[in-house]
């Protein structure tokens, strides 16, 4: 038998609220811990991928989708990069429907290969985020901004996702970078 709380309740009944509050608090704490652990696992995988020798990285890649790209991110995942890591990294685009249940993971949606020329990068970003070919005016403006360094690939993806057309697709996005091992 458990000792009584400060309010004289042993946690089993009382007025019914103490027990329910404790159950709710413990469920919320478990959910928060699970979300933190899932995010840590994904960040760790990316950090390990960067740090491992080529042979070890090949073994790790075999556990994913064969390309070395994790095929999903946990539902609670934030973007795994804050800025574009440069032309030597592939940018991964993960997506899930906005209307999906909160526990739905983000699935690998597209990848922008390392070393793409500015016009090719813009074309691939339009396909990945908007699901259509780039219009001539938008393609030219974005390609010029990329070539001049006024915009990076990650900012391009985020701009397209935040556009009215991008939001209208009903997808939530997360972005990650995967080093290719090739020089930029």
Per-residue confidence in pLDDT tens, the chain, 184 aa = 455 555 555 555 555 555 555 666 777 778 777 777 777 776 776 666 555 545 444 444 444 444 456 676 666 666 666 666 676 788 888 888 999 888 888 888 888 888 889 999 999 999 999 999 999 998 999 999 999 999 988 899 999 999 999 999 999 998 887 776 544 4
Rounded to whole angstroms, the Cα distance separating 34 from 105 reads 14
Task: Identify any residues that bridge with 73 across adjacent strands, giving them in sequence order.
Answer: 106
CA 92, 146, 122, 70: dihedral to nearest 10 degrees?
0
Does 5 map to a domain? Answer: no
Does 6 map to a domain? Answer: no
Does 125 map to a domain? Answer: yes
What pLDDT shows up at residue 63? 45
What pLDDT shows up at residue 89? 80
CA-to-CA dists, residue 84 to 10, 36, 141, 175, angstroms: 55, 24, 19, 10
Rounded to whole angstroms, the Cα distance separating 19 from 143 reads 60
Q: What is the CA 86 to chain-centroid distance, rounded?
A: 18
What pLDDT shows up at residue 184? 41
What pLDDT shows up at residue 88? 73
Does 35 map to a domain? Answer: yes
Instruction: State whether residue 64 is helix, strand or coil.
Output: coil
Rounded to whole angstroms, the Cα distance separating 51 from 20 reads 46
pTM of the entire structure? 0.59
What pLDDT shows up at residue 107? 86
Into how many domains does the chain fold?
Answer: 1
In the chain, the N- to C-terminal Cα span, in Å, equals 66
Question: Which residue range(s) make up the domain with 75?
Answer: 24-179
Which segments of 74-135 does DSSP mark as H helices, in order? 118-130
Does 81 map to a domain? Answer: yes
Does 75 map to a domain? Answer: yes
Give the pair of three-digit tokens for residue 176. 């990650």
């Amino acid at each position: 038998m458990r000792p009584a709380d400060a309010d004289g309740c042993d946690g089993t009944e009382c007025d019914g609220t103490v027990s329910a509050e404790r159950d709710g608090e413990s469920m919320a704490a478990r959910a928060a811990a699970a979300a933190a652990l899932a995010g840590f696992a994904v960040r760790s995988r990316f950090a390990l991928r960067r740090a491992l020798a080529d042979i070890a990285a090949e073994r790790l890649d075999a556990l994913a989708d064969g390309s070395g790209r994790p095929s999903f991110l946990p539902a609670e995942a934030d973007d795994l990069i804050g800025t574009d890591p440069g032309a030597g990294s592939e940018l991964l685009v993960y997506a899930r429907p906005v209307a999906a249940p909160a526990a739905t993971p983000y699935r690998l949606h597209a990848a922008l290969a390392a070393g793409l020329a500015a016009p090719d990068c813009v074309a691939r970003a339009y396909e990945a985020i908007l699901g259509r070919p780039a219009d001539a005016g938008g393609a030219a403006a974005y390609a010029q901004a990329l070539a001049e360094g006024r915009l990076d690939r990650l900012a391009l993806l985020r701009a397209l996702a935040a556009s009215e057309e991008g939001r209208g697709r009903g997808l939530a996005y997360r972005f990650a970078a995967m080093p290719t091992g090739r020089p930029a």
